């Protein structure tokens, strides 16, 4: 079984071993290794397009671990390839969530209120943030200041700037991302 296009009978026999609770552990490991050999290169290509070259091996390992742990209980025996790629899509999404959380700069609460005395470190962050805010278009800058200021609700901000709530959400998200990138570049 060298490729995913190998005969369905071979794959069905391998799957049967993995789903058989009475199969010997050594037989299950061998069957799993054959599935891995069959699908690993296509899975890596799929993951490369989703998470990039730098993360694809880690995500691939997570996918195969999940397959090993769940195949007996969760796989219905019908279409292994579709099930494998479903797991891969979920793991790619989880990877992006973790990466997004890890790469977000958390601004101190003290930066939201300009009247609070700041430490030297906060003052430098505020200076860089102001510089980055100055690079935004006026509408984005005003929206993000209104949103981070906390005095207005999302509905009030949307009405004030004549935006739908969905557009407000995406504008705030895009602007935060731009500011985070700018602040990171200037502080590094």
One domain, residues 26 and 99? yes
One domain, residues 116 and 90? no
One domain, residues 98 and 113? no
One domain, residues 167 and 143? yes
One domain, residues 178 and 147? yes
Say which residue the tokens 């290509």 belong to.
45
Polymer length of the chain = 188
User: Does residue 2 lie within any of the structural domains?
Assistant: no
User: Does residue 96 lie within any of the structural domains?
Assistant: yes
One domain, residues 14 and 37? yes
User: Does residue 3 lie within any of the structural domains?
Assistant: no
Burial profile 50-82: b = 16 or more Cβ within 10 angstroms, e = fewer = bbeeebbeebbebbbebbeeebeeebeeeebee
Q: Give me the pLDDT at residue 124, please.
A: 81
CATH code for the domain in which residue 71 is found: 1.10.1740.10
One domain, residues 44 and 130? no
What is the block-wise mean pLDDT of the chain (188 residues), using blocks of 10 residues? 51 90 93 94 89 85 94 88 93 77 50 48 79 88 78 78 87 88 86
Q: What number of CA atoms fall less than 13 Å from residue 147's CA on the CB side? A: 21
User: Does residue 39 lie within any of the structural domains?
Assistant: yes
Task: Say if CB 67 and CB 22 are below 8 A apart.
Answer: no
User: Does residue 57 lie within any of the structural domains?
Assistant: yes
- Domain that includes residue 34, residue range: 8-103
Q: Give me the pLDDT at residue 120, please.
A: 58
Q: Give me the pLDDT at residue 66, please.
A: 94
Q: Give me the pLDDT at residue 180, please.
A: 87
């Amino acid at each position: 079984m060298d490729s995913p296009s190998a005969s369905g009978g071979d794959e069905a026999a391998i799957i049967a071993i993995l789903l058989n609770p009475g199969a010997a552990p050594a037989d299950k490991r061998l069957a799993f290794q054959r599935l891995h050999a069959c699908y690993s290169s296509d899975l890596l290509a799929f993951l490369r397009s989703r998470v990039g070259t730098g993360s694809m091996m880690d995500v691939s390992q997570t996918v195969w671990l999940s397959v090993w742990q769940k195949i007996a209980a969760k796989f219905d025996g019908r279409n292994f390839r579709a099930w494998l790629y479903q797991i891969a899509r979920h793991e790619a999404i989880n990877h992006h969530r973790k990466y997004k959380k890890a790469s977000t700069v958390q601004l101190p609460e003290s930066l939201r209120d300009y009247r609070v005395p700041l430490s030297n470190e906060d003052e430098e962050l505020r200076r860089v943030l102001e510089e980055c805010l100055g690079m935004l278009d006026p509408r984005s800058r005003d929206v993000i200041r209104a949103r981070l200021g906390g005095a207005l609700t999302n509905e009030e901000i949307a009405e004030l700037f004549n935006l739908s709530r969905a557009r407000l959400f995406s504008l705030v998200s895009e602007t935060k991302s731009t500011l985070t990138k700018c602040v990171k570049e200037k502080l590094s």
